[in-house]
Amino acid sequence: MSGPGTEVASRPIGVFDSGVGGLSVLAELKRWLPHEHFVYYADTAHCPYGERAPEDIERLTLRGVRWLEAQGCKLVVIACNTACAFSLHSVRAATSLPVVGLVPALKPAVAQSRSRVVAVFATPVTLEGSLLQDVIAEHARPAGVRVLKLWQRELVPLVEHGQADSPFTHALLKELLTPALQAGADALVLGCTHYPFLIPALWAEFGDAFALHDSGTGVAKRARALLEGAGTLNVQRRAGHTQLYTTGDAASTESVARQLHPDIAGVQPIVSSEVPA
């Protein structure tokens, strides 16, 4: 028997990111929601978002979410910390779809830190955005935990170009994070969805000196809970499929995406006329 709920359940989940970094979140979504279909929007034509003006980030994020809504998505995940820092409230106001956003995983890092020093590694707008400031005020300050804010301009582009484990990337991470280690940090919050792809390089340079925290699992659990609550979880006992789309060059995006997420079937281009203004 089928009905309206069954029809909605078969629709895809939309995933938005400024580029390929959100594939780290997609991997967790697929692990927790193996029967769901996914449509991934990579705004690689405008990546990185980290140094853009807040109004520009909001405009680009709203365009992407509206495009995903037009594809019939039943839920949208904004798999970009920078986009969430300045767009989450306006996106939720602009769509009737449930929207899951990211907040840097500072809460579990604070709870587990023994040294009471935690480093948050993110983009400038995420580091100064209200979402992170609220988490610091609610969890870090009352616990007496010092939060170090770290940023490196070149790392997101390096991930976008398939250089997440290159010697140059290793050198940048060592330069950036050694002072945090010397300052006593024992936990590192990966506050950008590109940064989980740096974990092999982080392990090579620092071993287990830092406990690493990212938001992927929490986002996947939240998405599953929303679908279960609405009765729109896809319960068909077959694996879902995933389609990637990009506002940039499809061939180069696919090349990097396959390195980061090997079961990617292909990447389709999005022309500007297909994206709502």
- Give the position of tokens 């990617």: 264
Sequence-separated (6 or more) residues with CB below 8 Å from residue 58: 86, 87, 90
Q: Closest Cα partner for 241 from 34, 21, 19?
A: 34
Catalytic-role residue among 47, 73, 84, 192 = 192
| Residue 192: active-site member | yes
Q: Closest Cα partner for 147 from 178, 184, 100?
A: 184
| Residue 80: active-site member | yes
Cα–Cα distance measured from residue 130 to residue 189, given in angstroms and rounded to the nearest whole number = 17
Q: Closest Cα partner for 13 from 103, 101, 98?
A: 98
Cα–Cα distance measured from residue 188 to residue 254, given in angstroms and rounded to the nearest whole number = 29
| 108: preceding bond cis by omega (within 30 degrees) | no
Q: Which helix (H) or strand (E) holds 246?
A: strand 242-246
Number of neighbouring beta carbons within 10 Å of residue 111: 12
Cα 186 from chain centroid? 23
First to last CA, the chain: 39
C-beta separation of 88 from 101 below 8 A: yes
Q: Closest Cα partner for 149 from 115, 183, 174, 172?
A: 183
SS3 category, 41: strand
- At 14, list the tokens: 């939309």
Catalytic-role residue among 47, 73, 80, 84 = 80
| 262: preceding bond cis by omega (within 30 degrees) | no
Which residues form the catalytic set? 80, 192
